[in-house]
Amino acid sequence: MIGPASSPLVSTRSLRHTWPGSSAALVLGDLELAPGERLFLGGPSGSGKSTVLGLLSGVLAPTDGDVRILGMSFASMAARARDRFRANHLGYIFQQFNLLPFLTPVENVLLGCAWSAERSRRAGATRSLMTSEATRLLGALGLGQRTWSHARTGELSVGQQQRVAAARALIGGPELLLADEPTSALDAASRDAFLTLLLDECARHGTGVVFVSHDLALARHFDRGVTLDGDPRDSRES
Binding site for ligand ADP (CB under 6 A): 19, 43, 45-51, 231-233
Q: Provide the H-helix boundaries in the chain.
A: 49-56, 79-89, 105-110, 117-122, 127-140, 158-170, 188-205
Query: Which residue number, 8 or 43, has a Cβ lying nearer to ligand ADP?
Result: 43
Q: What is the spatial order of strands in the sheet that 10-17 belongs to?
A: 26-33, 10-17, 64-69, 72-73
In angstroms, the Cα distances linking 117 to 122, 123, 125 are: 9, 10, 8
Query: Which residue number, 51 or 147, has a Cβ lying nearer to ligand ADP?
Result: 51
CB 119 within 8 A of CB 71: no
In the complex, minimum distance from the CB of residue 101 to ligand ADP, in angstroms, rounded to a whole number: 24
- With CB under 5 A as the contact rule, which of the stretches 26-34, 46-54, 201-209, 220-228 interacts with Mg ion? 46-54
In the complex, minimum distance from the CB of residue 19 to ligand ADP, in angstroms, rounded to a whole number: 4
Nearest to 68 by CA among 116, 122, 14: 14
Query: Which residue number, 120 or 162, has a Cβ lying nearer to Mg ion?
Result: 162
Query: Which residue number, 19 or 94, has a Cβ lying nearer to ligand ADP?
Result: 19
Find which of ligand ADP, Mg ion, none residue 66 binds, CB within 5 to 8 Å per kind. none
Find which of ligand ADP, Mg ion, none residue 232 binds, CB within 5 to 8 Å per kind. ligand ADP
Handedness of CA 193, 116, 87, 8 (dihedral sign): positive
> What is the rounded distance in angstroms from the CA atom of residue 89 to the CA atom of residue 101?
25
Find which of Mg ion, ligand ADP, none residue 94 binds, CB within 5 to 8 Å per kind. none
In the complex, minimum distance from the CB of residue 222 to ligand ADP, in angstroms, rounded to a whole number: 17
In the complex, minimum distance from the CB of residue 186 to ligand ADP, in angstroms, rounded to a whole number: 18
In angstroms, the Cα distances linking 32 to 35, 57, 67, 92 are: 10, 15, 10, 19
- CA angle at 86 for the pair 82 and 91, rounded to the nearest 5°: 165
Query: Which residue number, 155 or 234, has a Cβ lying nearer to ligand ADP?
Result: 234
In the complex, minimum distance from the CB of residue 180 to Mg ion, in angstroms, rounded to a whole number: 6
Find which of Mg ion, ligand ADP, none residue 127 binds, CB within 5 to 8 Å per kind. none
Question: Is 50 an interacting residue with respect to Mg ion (CB under 5 A)?
Answer: yes
User: Shortest Cβ contact with Mg ion: which residue?
Assistant: 50
Find which of ligand ADP, Mg ion, none residue 62 binds, CB within 5 to 8 Å per kind. none
Torsion of CA 181, 183, 186, 187, to 10 degrees: -100
Through-space distance between the first and last CA atoms of the chain, rounded to whole angstroms: 35
Query: Which residue number, 100 or 216, has a Cβ lying nearer to ligand ADP?
Result: 216
| Chain positions contacting Mg ion, by CB under 5 A | 49-50
